[in-house]
Amino acid sequence: MNKLKKLRAEIDRIDEKILELLNKRAEVVLEIAKVKSAEKVGFYSPEREREILERLQQLNKGPFPNDALKVIFREILSASLSLEEPLKVACLGPLATFTHLAAIRHFGSSAEFIPVKTIKDVFEAVLEGKADFGVVPIENSNEGVISYTLDMFMDYDLKVSAEIMLEINHNLLSRSGDIKKIKKIYSHPQAVAQCRGWLERNLPNIPIVDSPSTAKAAEQAAKDEEGAAIASDLAAKIYDLRIIERRIEDNKNNYTRFLVISEDFPKPSGKDKTSIMLSIKDKPGALYEVLAPFKKHNINLTKIESRPSRRKAWEYIFFIDLEGHIEDKKVNKALGDVEKHCLFLKVLGSYPRTDEISKRRKYL
């Protein structure tokens, strides 16, 4: 027992040292804020944040895991930034949607999150200056691309400044936490579809009530003693619900990619992706002419998606993701060659490529 007490005392001393260092870090952050203000430099630098996180992960020798390290330092960076000026981030509401969760993963919980009703509202909040950034879903590994988000890039002159990959897990929540008391289940139709097998096996005769979002479903369940919701664990936290069963989705490999939108995009990080959209001429070989320059300049395309233009029958818009930054010489040259064969070409943004998945059930 004496050994345990000694070890706990050592933990206490380490925690006190961490606290002291956090406050010293905050003092330096406030000095940086003064310099930025005097020199009229933007207070938020995603390139600098990425540099800090990557450097610390490279320095980490363990046993503390790198994925947890990144989450902790994301929160430190978020709290530090709030000392200068809290970021305003628009996302689909109400709070506790997966878009909100993705936004927390990227910006940290010290940002000011502005919940709005639609994807269009996210774009408008950023365009009108009500938010510094917006977070919108762009594709799901099971359901495919979210066409409405792509359409918004046609109508709004905003840029993609980052991407977020989030693992989507669904949980069954209720006020009591007792599965036997459930008389109805609230959730978004997409979440219900992704959990259909589990529901048929475990709650086959319970009626489903459609909700506009999983977060709204949690809010409804919080007011209904006999109701349950299919939603995130963040929703359970916000709406004071108990988790009856975790991860009830049928497909355990369920991921959603989100884009961060803003009025500009970051400088090259050395590991970037560029998103563009273009329209091609209606003639034989037109698509080949557009794609050939990427082959010529050895540029890898990671995604290509077509959509009707909504402006002219049988005219299509292509959305393309490619490796590299617009400031890279070969990317810039390739896009110059591509543009010669397009009716129009628009660069949506260049931003750091995300190779890792944020696992929402951990470290939240």
Q: Please tell me the predicted confidence (pLDDT) of residue 357.
A: 55
**Strand, coil or helix: what is 296?**
helix
Q: Is residue 113 flagged as an active site residue?
A: no
Six token digits for residue 356? 């890792």
Q: Which residue, 236, 219, 251, is CA-closest to 171?
A: 236
106 and 179: one domain?
Answer: no
Average pLDDT for the chain: 90
The domain that contains 344 carries what CATH number? Answer: 3.30.70.260
| Residue in 342, 348, 349, 336 with CA at minimum distance from that of residue 279 | 342
Last residue of a domain, which of 61, 84, 107?
84
Distance CA 104, CA 92 (A): 13
pLDDT band at 360 (very low <50, low <70, confident <90, very high): very low
Q: Distance between CA 250 and CA 245 in Å, rounded?
A: 13
Task: Answer yes or no: is 362 within a domain.
Answer: no
Are 162 and 181 in a shared domain? no
The two beta strands, 242-245 and 342-352, are unpaired
Q: Which of 154, 332, 342, 350 is nearest to 271 (CA)?
A: 350
The set of residues, in sequence order, having a beta carbon less than 8 Å from that of 208 and lying 6+ positions away, is 184, 185, 186, 187, 192, 199
**Domains identified in the chain, total number:** 4
Show which of 231, 261, 291 is a domain's final residue.
261
Q: Is residue 324 one of the residues assigned to a domain?
A: yes
| Residue 349: pLDDT over 80 | yes
Clarify whether 256 is annotated catalytic: yes
The domain boundary, picked from 188, 212, 245, lies at 245
- For residue 138, give the CATH number of its domain: 3.40.190.10
Q: What is the pTM of this model?
A: 0.84
In a domain, 146, yes or no: yes
E strand residue ranges, 156-310: 159-167, 171-174, 184-187, 208-210, 227-231, 242-245, 255-262, 272-280, 301-308
Residue 77, in any domain of the structure: yes
Tell me the per-residue pLDDT of 213-257, one tens digit each, with 9 for 90 and over: 899 999 999 999 999 999 999 999 999 999 999 999 998 888 999
Are 178 and 162 within one domain? no
Distances (CA, A) of 247 to 230, 250, 310: 10, 9, 39
**Together in a domain, 322 and 291:** yes
Q: What is the CATH number of the domain that holds 20?
A: 1.20.59.10
Query: Which one has a higher pLDDT value, 160 or 84?
Result: 160
Q: Are 238 and 142 in contact (CB under 8 A)?
A: no
Check whether 27 has a pLDDT greater than 90.
yes
- Report if residue 357 sits inside a domain: no
Catalytic residue from among 256, 265, 274, 294:
256
Q: What angle do CA 51, 52, 58 make, to 5 degrees?
A: 90
Q: What distance in Å separates the CA atoms of residue 135 and residue 258, rounded to the nearest whole number?
A: 7
In a domain, 27, yes or no: yes
110 in a structural domain: yes
Token pair of 23, please?
Answer: 């406050």
Residue 36 pLDDT: 82
Closest CA to 134 of 92, 166, 79, 167: 92
Answer yes or no: do 308 and 336 share one domain. Answer: yes
Q: Which of 133, 258, 318, 319 is catalytic?
A: 258
104: which residues sit within 8 A by CB, 6+ positions away? Answer: 111, 113, 234
Are residues 10 and 78 both part of a single domain? yes
In a domain, 358, yes or no: no
Q: Are residues 93 and 110 in the same domain?
A: yes
**What CA–CA distance (Å, rounded) separates 232 from 237?**
9
Residue that has been written with the tokens 């450097």 in this structure: 55
Does 160 share its domain with 148?
yes
Share of the chain residues as helix, strand and coil, in percent rounded to the nearest 5: 40, 25, 30
Rounded to the nearest angstrom, the gap between the alpha carbon of residue 142 and the centroid of all alpha carbons in its chain is 17
Question: Domain limits at 297?
Answer: 266-352
Say yes or no to pLDDT of 41 above 90.
Answer: no
